[in-house]
Amino acid sequence: MGLYIGDKMMKYEEWSKLAIKVSKASLWMLHFCTGCGAIEMPPVMTSRYDMERFGIAPMATPRQADVLLITGYLTVKTLRRVIQVYEQMQSPKYVIAFGSCTINGGMYWDSYNTIKHLEKYIPVDVYITGCMPRPEGIINAFIKLMELIDEGKARGWEKYQKYYDKYKENQRRVFNFEIEGENEEY
């Protein structure tokens, strides 16, 4: 194993005003197209809703991205990949979760193989309600995220570092096997 190597603890306060301003204005996203929500991404990117005007651009890999979009329900198998991708992103990093599936399981509330509360496994900064959220909702979520960054409230990545053991504990419970690596840094 030995995959998950986290980042050093980083204080939000160490961050300069300018850095907050620029990081707010250029959110690069990695759309992890899991559930139904992926279908809402093309309209958001293309001419009708055009998210690029806010400086939001799609990226190909987690190394380059700032925002992870979880577009819908997650099976246990996918969750493993999501966590891997999330840990490969560079802080500061944010998570936006789509739809009721990520909040409480949505219409899969009694399914045996999906996870019900995404919050338990990775820290979510912004939720979008709805099944499925409209593109306006997605853009709204990004604006909200920008506000949160500005106010210093989008601290999911910090939370993840702080409560790393707890998150790992939860993750381990779903996977039923050891996924933790040598993580002295967390």
Partner 1 sequence: MDVMGIAIKVALLTAYAVIGTCVGLLFMGIGRKIIARVHNRVGPPFYQNFIDVAKLLSKKTNISHGWIFDLALLFSISGILLTLLFLPIGGVQLLSMEGDAFLVLYLLAIPALGFALGAGASGNPNAGVGVMRALVMMLSYELPFIITLIALMIYYDTTSLATIVRMQSINGVKSWAITMPPFMLAAFAADMALQGMLMEQPFDIPVAPHEIASGPMVEFGGKYLGSLMLYKAIALVAETTLFVDLFLGGGVVAHGNFAFVINFIVWLALIFLLFILSILIAASFPRFRIEQAFGFYWKYEAIIAAISLIWVYILVIK
Partner 2 sequence: MLDIIFAELIIAAIITFFVGKKIASIIAGFISILPLFALIDWANNFGFKTISFGIERQMNISVAGITLHLGITPLSWFFALMILPLFPLIMLYSYSFFKENDGFYPFMLFAFASTFGILLSKDMLSLFLFWEIMSWSSFLLVYRSRDKEAIISYLIFSVFSAFAILFGLMILWHENFSLLLSDIGRINGIYGFIAIASLIIGFSVKSVLMPLHAWAPFVYSKSDEPFVAFLSGGLSKLGYYGMFLFLFTLNGVKILQNYTPNVAWNYLLAVVGSLSAFVATMLAIMQDDLRKLLAYSSIGQLGYIAIGFGIGTPLAITGALFQAFNHAFFKAVLFLAAGAVAYRTGKWKISELGGLAYRMPLTFLAALFAIFALAAIPITSGFAAKWLLYEAAIQQKYVFIAPLMLIAGVGAFLYSFRILYGVFLGENRYPDVKEAPKSMIAAMFILMLPLIIFVVFPGYMLDLMKPALSNSGIESIAHTKFAIETSLAKYNSMAVLITLIAAMVPAFIIYKARKHRITSFEDNYLAGEPYEFHNPSMHAAHNFYKPLKGVVLPYFEPGATYYFEKIYKGIGILSNGIRRIYTGFVQDYAIYVVIFLLAVMGWLIWM
As a residue count, the chain comes to 186
CB of 57 to ligand SF4, least distance (A): 23
Task: Give dist(CA 155, CA 10) in Å, integer.
Answer: 11
Task: Give dist(CA 89, CA 39) in Å, integer.
Answer: 23
Q: Which is nearer to partner 2, 3 or 39 (CB)?
A: 3
Contact 79, 110 (CB under 8 A): no
Q: Does 17 bind partner 1 (CB under 8 A)?
A: no
129 binds, among partner 1, partner 2, ligand SF4, none (CB under 5 to 8 A by kind): none
Q: Which is nearer to partner 2, 6 or 55 (CB)?
A: 6
DSSP 115: -
25 binds, among partner 1, ligand SF4, partner 2, none (CB under 5 to 8 A by kind): partner 1
92 binds, among partner 1, partner 2, ligand SF4, none (CB under 5 to 8 A by kind): partner 1
Q: Does 84 bind partner 1 (CB under 8 A)?
A: no
Task: Give dist(CA 172, CA 69) in Å, integer.
Answer: 22
Q: Which is nearer to ligand SF4, 92 or 106 (CB)?
A: 106
Q: Which is nearer to partner 2, 148 or 174 (CB)?
A: 174
101-140 burial code (b ≥16 CB/10 A, e <16): bbbebbebeeeeebbbebbbbbbbbbbbeeebbebebbbe
Both tokens of residue 125?
A: 């900064």
Footprint on this chain of partner 1 (rule: CB under 8 A)? 7-8, 10, 15-16, 18-19, 22-23, 25-26, 28, 46-47, 50, 52-55, 57-64, 66, 88-92
